[in-house]
Structures are given as C-alpha cells and as structure tokens.
C-alpha cells in the first residue's frame, strides 16, 4: 500500500553465502508483496451492489460518485487533517459523496457501513479535468457528527471460533506468566495496518451500537489500549517468512537477534496475538506451512495465545499457481492440530459485496483503466467492518 515501507537494517551481521542467497530471495518476495500493496486500484461503489433487503429504507438526497485521483488517500473521522484515520483508499477507487463541509474542502462519503471524510484534493468529480470545486458545492453542507452510513448493509458475521479447552488454558497460562490479560496484538501485512484495522476502530471508523452490536462494547472497552497501539510485527510487505527474520525487525526497538514477531511479543506483553498473514505468500506458498508452524510455536513458547486468521483473497491460486484455497486450508488444519482459535474471516467475507475485497485496476497505455479481478486483495470498507466484528467476537469468546 502507498506509504508502506519494507524495513531494512543497515550493516547486518555477516551471513553465510547460502543464507544470504535465501534472504535475497525472501527480500525479493517482500518487495513483490510491498509492490502489491502499492498497486493502483478501482472499486465500484459498494453500496450500489448491496441488496435492497439488506439496506434500510432511505430518502433520496443529492450525491456524487467521486474517484480517488492520487496514489492513496486516507479517510478521516472528521473534516480535518488531524482527525483520526479510518481507512485508506487507492487511486481509481470510487465512492459516493453525500455531503461536504461549509467551504467544500472536505467531502463526506460512504465507506462500508460508515461515513468518513476525504479532502477535496484527493478526488475527481465526473467530467472534472481542471480541479473545479463547483461540483462539491452542489452537495448539501453538513455539520453532522454521525459516522453511520445511510446505505449500510446488515452485518451477519459467521466464522468466529469456538474456543477449545486447550486455548483457554493457554490464555490462563499467559496471564499467570505475567502477560497483560487486557492487551492483544497482531502480526500481519497491509490489511492489518492501523488505518484499515485496529486504528480504524480506535478512531471511530465503525459504530458497534448503530450496527446492532452494542453487546460487544464491554469487550471493546476491556481491550481498548490494543486498538490504538501500532504493532512492530505489522508491515505492508510482510509475509510468513519475514516476520520470523531479525533482518526485518525495527532496530530502534528490537534486540539484535529478535525477529519482528519475537520483538512485538516481548515489547507488547500481550496475552493474545492475531496472526493475519498469507497474502504476501502468493509466490512462496510452498513454504507457508513450515513458516506458520514456527510462528505458532514462537507465540506458544512466549506464553501467548495465537489466534489464526484466514484471508479473503486467493492470490496464491490466481497468481502463484497453487491449488485454490491452499493457504486458508493450511491455517484451518493447523488450528485443528494445535487446538487453537481460527477466526475464519474468509468464510464471513463470502457474504459481503465483492467478498469484502476492493476491485483492483491499473491504467494500461492505449487501453485505459483495466480491471484485474484475479489481483484483488485489499479489503473494502465492508471487509474492514466484518474483520473488526469477528476480532471483537473472538476476544469476547476468549475472555469471558
């Protein structure tokens, strides 16, 4: 994703030639994963695809479909640069603008089940070639603090795990070992970065009560500190190998021999870790199971309960040559083998418009905008909402 950086540590300890070659190959894989997160996209207005019976009745009001015109744009919780970031949209994505602030510098748009704000300079109106601001002024001015989309769909989450006796025992042991019972963390790629996952919720990007999930507010309060904390094991280019390699750890906060995963588990003192990986393993899927086992074993050795998370995309099949569903099948199988919680986001995403994914597209010279359905992997607003719901439901099941 734009703004994501693959971290490299200057002057690493000398590495034997064979290992250097292996790491060079992994670094290339990381670069590919990061480039995927940097790709330009286009998303058709998701609310137009939601079925009528899932959407509440509403009165027609002025609106405009706007297109993201920069490489990436943050969505904000209010019309101000210092407001909380509650999403990130990529070039060519389209969203429905339904309002503006007084001077038209900020637009209020539908984004999943939420209302968010985009700055006028990051979008283009239909037929707008000269940056004309007059289309924005045709939208109704609003001072409303509401963050709930009038075109929201009904969320019916499935895929929350059943917590085994062994998993409960691991959680109790984590607390007994001095780990924080009210803190969880995450290891993941660009779909786990703060503006599109935990930080989005912390900034008010999804309203539990307004969407019918007020019962999850107590567990959200219990783990509140987790949502505003940036994990040292999350990076736009991470895959199952890089989170285990000290070469990719933050040298300012991690010890010399620590991997990003080990460093995060130590520094956070979390009792639970959500493992959201696999998209970055598109071309290295054959190594995924061995690496994923090491991730699980590392967490267990540190007295942390791992929650395994499936992914909505199938890039290893559509691009990497693997059988369809290979990585998710591995995650589910290892969850059963280790008797660990599996948060089956892939299962829940099937019920969402576009399976919770943003449509991917690129500008091709001579062809214009070309959609690449096989390349989809960024989560849509609906996908982000569902993933957050499942996270809270999983925490609720573990901590009760």
* CA-wise closest residue to 342 among 159, 132, 189, 199: 159
Does 269 have pLDDT greater than 50? yes
Does 30 have pLDDT greater than 90? no
Is residue 271 a contact partner of residue 305, using CB atoms and an 8 Å limit?
Answer: yes
- More confidently predicted of 244 and 369: 244
| pLDDT 10s digits, 371-395 | 666 678 989 899 999 999 999 999 9
State residue 24's pLDDT score: 54
Percent composition of the chain: helix, strand, coil (DSSP 3-state, to 5): 40, 20, 45
Is residue 341 a contact partner of residue 335, using CB atoms and an 8 Å limit?
Answer: yes
Does 59 have pLDDT greater than 60? no
* CA distance readout (Å), 177 to 172, 320, 346, 397: 9, 41, 33, 21
Domains identified in the chain and CATH numbers: 50-137 (2.30.30.40), 165-399 (3.40.50.1110)
Does 288 have pLDDT greater than 70? yes
State residue 210's pLDDT score: 86
Q: What is the pTM of this model?
A: 0.82
- More confidently predicted of 239 and 125: 239
State residue 45's pLDDT score: 36
Does 277 have pLDDT greater than 50? yes
Ranked by mean pLDDT, which of 25-29, 90-94, 174-178, 202-206 comes out on top? Answer: 174-178
Does 99 have pLDDT greater than 80? yes
Helix boundaries (H) for the chain:
17-37, 134-137, 165-176, 198-202, 217-222, 224-227, 260-268, 288-301, 315-318, 326-338, 345-349, 381-399
State residue 46's pLDDT score: 36
Residue 329 C-beta-side C-alpha neighbours within 13 Å = 10
Q: How large a percentage of the chain has pLDDT more than 90?
A: 59
Count each helix (H run) and each strand (E run) in the chain, helices first: 12, 13
State residue 92's pLDDT score: 82
Helix or strand (DSSP H, E) at 305: strand 305-309
State residue 57's pLDDT score: 41
| pLDDT 10s digits, 111-142 | 888 899 999 999 988 766 555 567 888 888 88
Q: What is the mean pLDDT of the chain?
A: 84
Does 214 have pLDDT greater than 60? yes
- Mean pLDDT to the nearest integer, 77-96: 89
Confidence bin at 11 (pLDDT 50/70/90): very low
State residue 126's pLDDT score: 79
């Amino acid at each position: 994703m734009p703004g994501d950086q693959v971290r490299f540590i200057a002057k690493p300890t000398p590495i034997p030639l064979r290992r250097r070659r292996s790491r060079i190959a992994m670094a290339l894989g990381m670069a590919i994963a990061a480039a995927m997160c940097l790709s330009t996209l286009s998303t058709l207005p998701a609310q137009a695809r939601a079925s009528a019976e899932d959407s509440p009745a509403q009165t027609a009001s002025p609106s405009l479909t706007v297109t993201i015109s920069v490489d990436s744009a943050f969505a904000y919780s209010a019309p101000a640069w210092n407001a909380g970031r509650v999403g990130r949209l990529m070039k060519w994505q389209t969203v429905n603008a339904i309002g503006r602030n007084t001077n038209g510098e900020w637009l209020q748009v539908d984004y999943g089940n939420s209302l968010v704000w985009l700055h006028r300079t990051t979008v283009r109106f239909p037929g707008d070639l000269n940056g004309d601001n007059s289309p924005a002024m045709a939208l109704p001015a609003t001072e409303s603090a509401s963050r709930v989309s009038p075109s929201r769909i009904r969320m019916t989450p499935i895929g929350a795990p059943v917590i085994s006796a062994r998993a409960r025992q691991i959680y109790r042991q984590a607390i007994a070992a001095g780990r924080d019972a009210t803190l969880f963390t995450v290891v993941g790629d660009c779909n786990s970065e703060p503006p599109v996952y935990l930080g989005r919720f912390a900034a008010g990007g999804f309203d539990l009560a307004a969407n019918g999930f007020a019962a999850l507010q107590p567990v959200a309060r219990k783990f509140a500190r987790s949502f505003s904390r940036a994990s040292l094991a999350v990076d736009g280019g991470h895959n199952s190998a890089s989170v285990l390699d000290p070469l990719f750890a933050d040298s300012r906060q991690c010890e010399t021999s620590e991997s990003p995963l080990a460093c995060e588990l130590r520094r956070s003192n979390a009792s639970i870790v959500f493992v959201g990986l696999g998209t970055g393993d598109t071309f290295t899927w054959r190594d995924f199971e061995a690496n994923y086992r090491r991730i699980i074993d590392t967490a267990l050795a540190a007295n942390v309960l791992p929650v395994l998370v499936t992914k909505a995309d199938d890039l290893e099949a559509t691009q990497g040559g693997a059988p369809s569903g290979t990585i998710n099948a591995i995650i589910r199988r290892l969850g059963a083998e280790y008797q660990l919680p599996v948060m089956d986001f892939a299962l829940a995403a099937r019920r969402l418009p576009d399976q919770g994914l943003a449509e991917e597209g690129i500008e091709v010279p001579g062809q214009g905008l070309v959609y690449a359905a096989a390349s989809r992997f960024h989560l849509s607003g609906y996908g982000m909402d569902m993933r957050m719901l499942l996270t809270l439901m999983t925490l609720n099941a573990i901590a009760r």
